[in-house]
Amino acid sequence: MAKVKFTFEDKTISEVTVNNAEAGLSILEIAEDHDVHLNHNCGGVCACSTCHVYVQRGEQYLEEISDNEEDFIDRAINPRLESRLGCQCIILDQSAEIDIEIPDQAQIIGHEH
């Protein structure tokens, strides 16, 4: 099983490590399955930028970024070179080790999940 470590830009939130993440699932799905708060106003269909994350380590274990995803990342709050959308980060390898930082979501207006 893959290992995904979630850290948070908001340092008042404790990190979460998921040691049993399944290949074929997205970072958003892993977050939801393990009670890690990650907004996703569009329901995880790459139609907004609210599930924006920073991939700190393990990018090579994720599906490549699409043009559509890049367009939505441009609309995210504080995008960086390592920015991705959690709904589009599909884990490709069972032996993956991935570190994800979730940006401060306080500025996101919309449905809380």
| pLDDT single digits (tens) 28-44 | 999 999 999 999 999 89
Q: How many domains does the chain have?
A: 1
89 is a domain residue? yes
94 is a domain residue? yes
40: tokens are 């996703």
Has residue 112 got a pLDDT over 80? no
Domain encompassing residue 20: 2-102
35 is a domain residue? yes
111 is a domain residue? no
Domain with residue 11: its CATH number is: 3.10.20.30
Nearest C-alpha neighbor of 102 from the set 32, 45, 20: 32
108 is a domain residue? no
Q: What is the pLDDT of residues 56-65, one digit of tens each?
A: 999 999 999 9
110 is a domain residue? no
38 is a domain residue? yes
pTM: 0.92
